[in-house]
Amino acid sequence: MLLPTDALDSLWNFKLPILISNFQALIFGVISGMTAHKIVPHKSDMIAKRLAGFILKLQHDQILLVVFKDYIAIFTIMIVVIYLYVILLYGIASSFNITNWLTSMKNMAPALVTAIATSSSSATIPVTLEGCKKNIKEHDMEYMEIFLDSADLNEIKELKELIDGITTNPSLIAKSGHKNKYKDLISEICSIIDGPVSVEVVADSHEEMVKEGLDLAKIAENIIVKLPLTYNGLISCKKLSTEYNISVNITLCFSPGQALLAAKAGACFISPFIGRLDDISYDGLSLIEDICTMYSNYMFDTKVLVAS
């Protein structure tokens, strides 16, 4: 009986010189993929043409039928398992939101087809990037909003027609010079502005943050509880957002990784401090670009509130 391995022996018993290294092959694959995508942009699901010649060779030698007969079940199971695994990953990334789930799978399908057809991650890179761009364009992008960082009632009244929200902190409230009690001042600000009013807690512990956040949220419906990007701040954000449906603004963000943690904790806003980064010669705006790209690709609803 002719075994598949015996039938294939004639094809494997030859030697070829090593023309290029794996690293060079990877670079060549990336360049080829990018070039092909630019030349024929509508043919995103690129399949290596050399595979066609190999398949024709197997068919000519009457080996293809033997291979399919013995391995078709394994091939089918492998492909089904791979697709189910990828579908599950996109489901997790989109928090199992059906609309976002289907959109991301549709946009990334060419990359998956390319990866399975060529078994080459480098050939997939250009198609993957194109899919990411589509996800960004098709994801609901909010228009830009302007928040005033102030607790001065006169200033807020003067600019209320030009702004979309207010951010405050204990220092700003202390500097405002108003004799109103803390909660009374916040309540008056909320009555002037229809949009979000971000109010910061002063507590340090998880329990006190949650308690203070609940008290602040009772002042007005448009209150956004501001929490620091610390361990206690993140777990308090998770509790307030999931158990009490309270909107949270996570502040003191300095990296994409921190922004990811805030989004996963259910933050409504993330406040990266780009001014502080610029002060140490780090490009703060590049951080904003990275966070926005990450949120768009993974379809987080967290808004980026750029701070100094």
Q: How does residue 18 score in pLDDT terms, banded at 50, 70 and 90?
A: very low
In CATH, what is the architecture of 147-304?
Answer: Alpha-Beta Barrel (3.20)
Please say if 133 is a catalytic residue.
Answer: no
Give the model confidence (pLDDT) of 56-67 as tens digits. Answer: 666 666 766 776
Average confidence (pLDDT) over 268-297? 92
What HEC string does 169-229 produce?
CHHHHHHCCCCCCHHHHHHHHHHHCCCCEEEECCCCCHHHHHHHHHHHHCCCCCEEEEEEC
How many angstroms separate the CA atoms of 201 and 216, rounded? 8
pLDDT (0 to 100) of residue 96: 80
pLDDT (0 to 100) of residue 181: 82
Look up tokens 């777990």; give the residue. Answer: 235
Q: Of the listed 181, 183, 226, 264, which one is catalytic? A: 226
Largest Cα separation within the chain, whole Å, is 97
pLDDT of 233 above 90 = yes
Domain residue extents for the chain = 4-138, 147-304
